[in-house]
Amino acid sequence: MAGHSKWANIRHKKAKEDAKRSKIFTKHIKELTVAAREGGGDPDGNPRLSLAIDNAKADNVPKDNIERAIKRGTGEDSDGASYEEATFEGYGPGGIAYFIEVTTDNNNRTVSDIRHIFTKHGGNMGTTGSVGYMFEQKGMIQIPSEGLSDEEFMLEAIDAGASDVDTDDEMFVVYTTREELFEVRNRLEEAGYTIESATLIREAVTETKVDEDTAVSNLKMMEKFEENDDVNNVFTNMLMDDETIALAENL
């Protein structure tokens, strides 16, 4: 998973830079609202909400905004938009598979926007299930690696229930099953580790290696998806070598 891990870290750094803008705040507000609506406003009894609160705090979302989003989700505050979650599937340049997660207050608008981006950049929006089988949902936890022993951390992460661990220059990336993300995250935090983020991802079961031109075309399309206010996550089965990843980092 080394290539996947490295690209995940690049995207995470870019997301942290985006925190200077309002989009990342909006993304957190939507997730908090939906999590509270589905599982209640008590984070102790709602793992998804607990993770959403921690991730929002990590990106410096103000406490008042967090509390207001939770109240909106539980119905205590009826002011504001009503959000629903949806997914879209399709293919990008070179036949690269895409799985896109959104949270929207206007599904018709979002469908139109997603289809337009696919078409404009040489891709095709598919039907539900057209590529979903190519992806497996997992938990991913990112922990700053500075000052930590690789071997010691890996052993502790496995003991905590991790299914796999990757290392990069700045980050440990811990993978879990979908069901165990919350528990593994808590165990690592209790062990004294600083959690940078903990979230569910969709990892490609089989990846497709691309050349530089195909990678650039897909990265430009991915960027347009991620600029859309309704889009939460964009997952692909694109496999890039180190040189192409370095190029991607500078786009």
* Tens of pLDDT, residues 35-67: 999 999 999 999 999 999 999 998 889 999 999
**What's the mean pLDDT in 102-131?**
96
pTM for the full predicted model = 0.85
Percent of the chain with pLDDT over 90: 70
Percent of the chain with pLDDT over 70: 88
Are the beta carbons of 188 and 176 closer than 8 angstroms? Answer: no
Q: Is the pLDDT of residue 242 over 90?
A: no
Question: How far is Cα 251 from Cα 245, in angstroms, rounded to an integer?
Answer: 10
The number of C-alpha atoms within 13 Å of 25 and in the hemisphere containing its C-beta is 11
Q: Given this model, what pLDDT does residue 169 score? A: 73
- What pLDDT was estimated at residue 15? 55
Which residue type, as a one-letter code, is found at position 33? T
Q: Is the pLDDT of residue 2 over 60?
A: no
Among 147, 144, 181, smallest CA distance to 161 is for: 181
Please give the C-alpha separations between residue 229 and each of 17, 58, 77, 192, in angstroms, as whole numbers. 16, 20, 22, 35
- Mean pLDDT in residue range 204-230: 91
Stated as kind and residue range, the H or E segment containing 236 is: strand 231-236
Q: Mind listing the pLDDT tens digit for each residue in 165-215?
A: 998 778 899 999 999 999 999 999 999 999 999 999 999 999 999 988 999
